[in-house]
Structure 1
Amino acid sequence: MYKFLEQTVAGYMTRAAKTVTRERTVRELSDMFERDDFNSYPVEEDGQVIGIVTKFDILKCFIFTPSQMVPPYEQLMSRTVGDVMTSEFIYVRTDTKLTRVLQLMVDHRIRSVPAIDDEHRLAGIIARRDVLKALADCSGG
């Protein structure tokens, strides 16, 4: 297990991460979630990561209160990623230790974290399964 303490994001992240733009509709995004079996996508604009959008963000569209009534389903599905994305998001760098990633995932109950380079460009994405693989690799299991 001591070997795990030295592992970084670069060694286990998925480098070819799929992204979306803020113009994509919630319907298109929902189809992508279904097809790719992902829980989140980084949102890119001009080559930089400007946010993240999750299945949870779609679900939030359907919350209503006495002061906020839910519009028709088709209207909600026509909204854009830019309308529902989270622009203040947790990210890591490729040299971040996996112990830190693990702590972020547990503390914030997140499934994956974008890895960003010095120019705020997407280098990859690190998911829970990647951290679990690192733990197994480092334990000899």
Structure 2
Amino acid sequence: MDDEGRVLGVVSPKDLLTRESEHSFLKFRPKLRRKVQGTSAGELISRPAVTVEQDAGVTEAARLMEDHRVHRLPVVDDEARLVGIVGRSDLLRGFLRTDTELNEEVRTGVLLRSMSLDPNTVSVVMHNGVVTVGGEVERTSMIPVIVALIRRLDGVVDVPERLTAGLDDGHLPIEEPVGTGVLDSLKRRA
């Protein structure tokens, strides 16, 4: 960092490994020679530092890490001063949820709210992000919808399903909805 706390660069594991390895092509790459012969952080750092603003979202930080192939990002304020460091594990933490939290989200969010099912009629078993659902639902067409909604939840790894249905509606034709809106009634009059 400079005297005002602004990030100048970062010493990465790659920088340290470069310093420790032997390179016969140093005479052709002055920047690499500086790193290999460097004895201070200032001589080893990769410049400019890839940083993320403190107001940036998780997606932006993850994209920066992926694009620049780094494992940690300095977090800076509006004046580019260092306020912290974010690592890959920090970004993942937001997606990791306990089995108890996932169970509640599946029962309340998916089964009750989205599918209008009594959560007590479906068995929901969690283990390390694997959500196994079983029991009987009204129609077979509901099964892939339930599985898809559960898969979309953050922290879900897999959704083995053991669901059956009281009515096999897979063979029924899909009918176009009959227009019943105001515009449809006006069209019929014309």
Separation in structure 1 between the aligned mates of residue 81 and residue 56 of structure 2, nearest angstrom: 16
2:9 aligned with 1:51: yes
Structure 1 unaligned residues grouped into runs of 5+: 1-43, 69-75
1:110 is aligned to: 70
Alignment of 1:1-141 (within 5 A): 44-46=1-3, 47-61=5-19, 62-66=21-25, 68=27, 79-137=39-97, 139=154
Letter in 2 for 1:59: L
Please report the RMSD computed on the Cα atoms of aligned residues, expressed in angstroms. Answer: 2.3
- What is the Cα deviation at residue 64 of structure 1? 0.9
Letter in 1 for 2:16: I
**Are residues 81 and 92 of structure 1, via their aligned partners in 2, closer, same or farther at CA, if it must alter by over 3 Å?**
same
Q: Give the fraction of aligned pairs with identical amino acids, expressed as a percent.
A: 31
On the 8 A contact 2:38/2:44 being kept in 1, the answer is no
Letter in 1 for 2:79: E
TM-score in terms of structure 2 length = 0.43
- What is the Cα deviation at residue 89 of structure 1? 1.9
Separation in structure 2 between the aligned mates of residue 98 and residue 122 of structure 1, nearest angstrom: 18
Higher relative contact order (CA 8 A, sep 6+): 1
**Are residues 128 and 85 of structure 1, via their aligned partners in 2, closer, same or farther at CA, if it must alter by over 3 Å?**
same
Separation in structure 2 between the aligned mates of residue 92 and residue 66 of structure 1, nearest angstrom: 34
Q: SS where residue 59 of structure 1 aligns?
A: helix
Aligned residues between the structures:
91
TM-score in terms of structure 1 length = 0.56
The one-character-per-residue Cα deviations of 1:41-90 (angstroms, maximum 9, x if unpaired) are xxx2212211111111111123411554xxxxxxx687111111112121
Task: Give 4+ residue runs of structure 1 displaced > 6 Å after superposition.
Answer: none
Separation in structure 1 between the aligned mates of residue 47 and residue 25 of structure 2, nearest angstrom: 27
2:124 is aligned to: none
